[in-house]
Amino acid sequence: TLIKNGLIHTGKLEKYFSGFAARKAYQEIIHSIYNSNSIEEQKLLLPSLFTAEFDKIFLSYFSKENQSKSGRDSEKYKYVNEKEVALGLLKRFKQNMNQMLLKNNYFNQYFLTSNFFDLENSYPYVKESNFNLLKQKVDTINIVTEELEQHLEKRPIDFYTKGNLSDIFEYMSEDQTIKFLNHISNYFASKGRIAFWNLYNQRSSNNKISKLKTLEKISKELYNKDKVWFYTDFFVEEVK
């Protein structure tokens, strides 16, 4: 039943999003926006969604206090100094909706409805056409459940070439971030790349690690293409 109902709906953050998406008053206009065939057509409909009432509900629901109570562990806000986090989220959400068709953005579809309008135009892993490909590769996946530093120390130096660290540095101080990046970079081969996002905190190597170089051009290009609007920045660091 859990799999049939959808594993994606079981996460804490997804459940939190569903509380916002459950507001039926907006579903009709969301469906109309989804049916837009051009960004110009979509923009004409957005004022019907982004009303003063919508803004008020959004700012209240995604406030720092409500997020730390219902959306994410409160410990994850230890280094967040920004008080009005919801204002930044709302600004980025509106900007994204003015630049990217809802029809082509399955992240926004899920955020607004807790579902997808068309599975074949959503995450690659849920497409029926990709099932056999994933089935063939399932044995190549190695799931590790231990601290990253402990795991890396069991590997040879220069073992990895790619690393996606999500927004792990959100939960570290600036000094901890520099120390951590400096340490793990030893386990990446030359020209290896480490990617990560910033959410509420500004974190990067900040040119303080001799082994790492921030690839500013590709970082900015990829950030601008990102369908997800939660994050304030994206970095690709390359090992020299």
In order along its 240 residues, the chain shows pLDDT tens digits of: 777 888 888 888 899 999 998 787 899 999 999 999 999 999 999 999 999 999 999 999 999 999 988 888 888 888 888 778 999 999 999 999 999 999 999 999 999 999 999 988 898 988 889 999 999 999 999 999 998 888 988 999 899 999 999 999 999 999 999 999 999 999 999 999 999 999 999 999 988 999 999 999 999 999 999 999 999 999 999 999
Nearest to 33 by CA among 49, 21, 18: 49
Q: Which residues pair with 233 in a beta bridge?
A: 198
| pLDDT attached to residue 7 | 84
Stated pTM of the model: 0.90
| pLDDT attached to residue 202 | 93
| pLDDT attached to residue 190 | 96
Give the rounded distance of the alpha carbon of 5 from its chain centre: 23
Q: How far apart are the C-alpha atoms of 40 and 36, rounded to whole Å? A: 9
Q: How far apart are the C-alpha atoms of 62 and 208, rounded to whole Å? A: 34
Q: How far apart are the C-alpha atoms of 143 and 132, rounded to whole Å? A: 20
List the end-to-end C-alpha distance of the chain, in Å, as a whole number.
Answer: 49
| pLDDT attached to residue 83 | 77
| pLDDT attached to residue 76 | 83
Residue ranges of alpha helices (H) inside the chain are: 2-5, 12-21, 27-34, 39-49, 52-61, 64-66, 85-97, 106-113, 131-137, 148-152, 174-184, 216-225
What single-letter DSSP state applies at residue 156? P
Query: For residue 222, what are the CA distances in angstroms to 195, 216, 225?
Result: 11, 10, 5
Which residues contact residue 162 at a Cβ distance below 8 angstroms, ignoring those fewer than 6 apart? Answer: 192, 193, 194, 195
